[in-house]
């Protein structure tokens, strides 16, 4: 029965394509949180009329894609796509410790659209601290733990991270989450990290079984720790 259903769906799609329905376009712009354009972002326009299980031959995705230019703009024609309902998504592939990770951008309008419409879909975000859908945001997660045997209240501790390659600096206050005290939404890379509490520097070390046990004023690591490989974990004490 499922095979017959797939054949019927496939025949319906071929019939729709053969009608020569008017094609449309999907265009827009991608910006970061500050409103600056982001080049090199992948945009996909993906078929939504039927679920993948309903499509013949295993339900391979039906989509068209493009990459944003230096002004953050893109345009995708739907000429070669079957008529139906579509959605658009945007992501940028980043290398983190030798592993590729996709950073998603958020659409200003999440609704689906018809293939024969001229549709505008703008995206924003990239790295961000948190959202209604993602409490930990996009990017690296810096986790601050008390050293073993230390019970200092670390509420309000400030983390300073300096990118070892670009010297870009970030200073943020920790917030409480299910992962503990964290700073989120950090661009991936290797960083020199230090932590202060009430303006006073804390002693710090990398929090990992194979890390040196000595504390110092700063440590250097990347965001390859944790079960998802996107954390930089440290232990601190006065």
Report pLDDT for 17: 44
Q: State phi, psi for 229 to the nearest 5 degrees.
A: 65, 35
Q: State phi, psi for 17 to the nearest 5 degrees.
A: -65, -40
C-alpha 54/C-alpha 13 separation (Å) is: 11
Q: What is the pLDDT along the chain (238 residues), one digit of tens a residue?
A: 444 344 334 444 444 444 445 679 999 999 988 899 999 999 999 998 866 555 554 445 789 999 999 999 999 999 988 898 999 999 999 889 888 888 899 899 999 999 999 999 999 988 888 877 788 888 999 999 999 999 999 999 999 999 999 999 999 999 999 889 999 999 999 999 999 999 999 999 999 888 888 999 999 999 999 988 999 999 999 9
Report pLDDT for 159: 98
Report pLDDT for 21: 52
Report pLDDT for 56: 53
C-alpha 189/C-alpha 166 separation (Å) is: 9
Strand partners, 172: 159
Report pLDDT for 60: 52
Report pLDDT for 20: 47
Report pLDDT for 101: 86
Which domains does the chain show, CATH number per domain? 23-125 (2.60.40.10), 140-237 (2.60.40)
Report pLDDT for 126: 82
**pTM for the full model?**
0.73
Report pLDDT for 206: 97
| CA 30 to the chain's CA centroid | 14
């Amino acid at each position: 029965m499922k095979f017959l259903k797939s054949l019927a769906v496939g025949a319906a799609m071929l019939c729709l394509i053969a009608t020569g329905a008017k094609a449309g376009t999907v265009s827009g712009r991608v910006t970061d949180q500050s409103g600056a354009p982001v080049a090199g972002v992948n945009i996909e326009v993906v078929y939504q009329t039927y679920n993948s299980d309903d499509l013949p031959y295993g339900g391979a995705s039906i989509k068209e894609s493009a990459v944003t230019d230096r002004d953050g703009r893109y345009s995708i024609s739907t000429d070669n796509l079957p008529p139906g309902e579509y959605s658009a998504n945007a992501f940028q592939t980043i290398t983190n410790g030798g592993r590729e990770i996709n950073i998603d951008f958020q659409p200003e309008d999440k609704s689906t659209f018809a293939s024969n419409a001229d549709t505008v879909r703008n995206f924003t975000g990239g790295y961000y601290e948190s959202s209604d859908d993602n409490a930990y945001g996009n990017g690296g997660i810096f986790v601050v733990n008390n050293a073993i045997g230390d019970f200092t209240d670390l509420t309000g501790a400030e983390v300073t991270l300096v990118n070892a390659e670009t010297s870009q600096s970030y200073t943020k206050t920790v917030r409480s989450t299910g992962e503990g005290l964290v700073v989120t939404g950090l661009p991936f890379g290797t960083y020199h990290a230090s932590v202060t509490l009430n303006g006073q520097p804390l002693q710090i070390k990398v929090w990992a079984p194979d890390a040196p046990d000595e504390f110092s004023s700063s440590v250097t690591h990347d965001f390859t720790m944790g079960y998802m490989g996107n954390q930089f974990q440290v232990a601190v004490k006065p």
